Structure 1
Amino acid sequence: MKPMNYTLRKRLTQICFQLLLLFGSLFILAPLAIMVLGSFKDVKEAAELSLSLPSVWHFENYQVVFEKGEIGQAMINSTIITVSSVVVTLISSSLASFYLARCNNAFSRRIMSVFMMGLIAPISLIPTITLLQKLHINNTYFGVIMVFCSLNMAFSVLLFTGFIKTIPRQLDEAAVMDGCGPIRTFFLVIFPLLLPVIVTGIIVVFMNVWNNFMIPLYFLSDSSKWPMPLTVYNFFGKYQSSWNLVFADLVMTALPILLVYLLGQKYIIDGMTTGAVKG
Structure 2
Amino acid sequence: MSFSRKLTIRNYIVEILLILASLLIIIPLLLMIFGSFMTSAEVSSFKIRLPENWQFSNYKKVFEEGGLMRAFWNGILITSLSAILNIVTSSAAAFVLARRESKLSSFLYLFFFMGLIAPMSTITTIRVVQWMGFYGSVSSVIFIYAALNTAFSMFLYSGFIKTIPKVLDEVAFLEGANLFRVFFRIITPLIIPVNATVAIMVFMSVWNDITIPIYFLTDSSTWTMPLSVYNFYGKFSRDWNLIFADLVLTSLPVLILYIFAQKYIVSGLTAGAVKG
In structure 2, the partner of 1:62 is: 59
> Of 247, 256, 261, which residue of structure 1 is paired with 2:258?
261
Q: How does 1:238-257 map to 2 (within 5 A)?
A: 238-257=235-254
**Structure 2 unaligned residues grouped into runs of 5+:** none
* Amino acid corresponding to residue 183 of structure 1 in structure 2: F
In structure 1, the partner of 2:24 is: 27
Contact kept, 8 Å, 1:101 with 1:164, in 2: the verdict is yes
Residue-by-residue CA offset, 1:232-266 (whole Å, 9 max, x unaligned) = 11101111111110011001111111112112211
Matched, 1:17 2:24: no
Matched, 1:127 2:131: no
Q: Percent identity?
A: 45
In structure 1, the partner of 2:84 is: 87
Matched, 1:170 2:167: yes
> Of 231, 235, 238, which residue of structure 2 is paired with 1:234?
231
SS in 1 for 2:116: coil
Cα 1:225–1:273 change in 2 (3 A) is closer
Equivalents in 2 of 1:183, 1:94: separation in Å? 12
Cα 1:121–1:6 change in 2 (3 A) is closer
Residue-by-residue CA offset, 1:51-70 (whole Å, 9 max, x unaligned) = 21111111111110011111
Contact kept, 8 Å, 2:194 with 2:272, in 1: the verdict is no
Deviation, 1:177, is: 3.3
Deviation, 1:91, is: 0.9
SS in 1 for 2:264: helix
Deviation, 1:131, is: 2.1
Equivalents in 1 of 2:273, 2:213: separation in Å? 38
Equivalents in 2 of 1:80, 1:272: separation in Å? 25
In structure 1, the partner of 2:151 is: 154
* Amino acid corresponding to residue 116 of structure 1 in structure 2: F
Q: CA RMSD in A?
A: 1.8
Residue-by-residue CA offset, 1:64-103 (whole Å, 9 max, x unaligned) = 0011111111111111111111110111000000011111
Residue-by-residue CA offset, 1:180-205 (whole Å, 9 max, x unaligned) = 22211112211122122222211221
Equivalents in 1 of 2:188, 2:114: separation in Å? 26
In structure 2, the partner of 1:224 is: 221
Cα 1:278–1:125 change in 2 (3 A) is closer
Contact kept, 8 Å, 1:166 with 1:275, in 2: the verdict is no
Matched, 1:210 2:213: no
TM-score (norm 2): 0.94
In structure 2, the partner of 1:101 is: 98
Equivalents in 1 of 2:268, 2:217: separation in Å? 36
TM-score (norm 1): 0.93
Deviation, 1:112, is: 1.4
Deviation, 1:159, is: 1.6
Matched, 1:48 2:66: no
**Structure 1 unaligned residues grouped into runs of 5+:** none
Deviation, 1:155, is: 1.4
Cα 1:78–1:31 change in 2 (3 A) is same
Contact kept, 8 Å, 1:85 with 1:146, in 2: the verdict is yes
* Amino acid corresponding to residue 75 of structure 1 in structure 2: F
Equivalents in 2 of 1:275, 1:86: separation in Å? 17
* Amino acid corresponding to residue 264 of structure 2 in structure 1: Y
Cα 1:119–1:10 change in 2 (3 A) is closer
SS in 2 for 1:240: coil
Deviation, 1:114, is: 1.9
Deviation, 1:157, is: 0.9
* Amino acid corresponding to residue 125 of structure 2 in structure 1: T
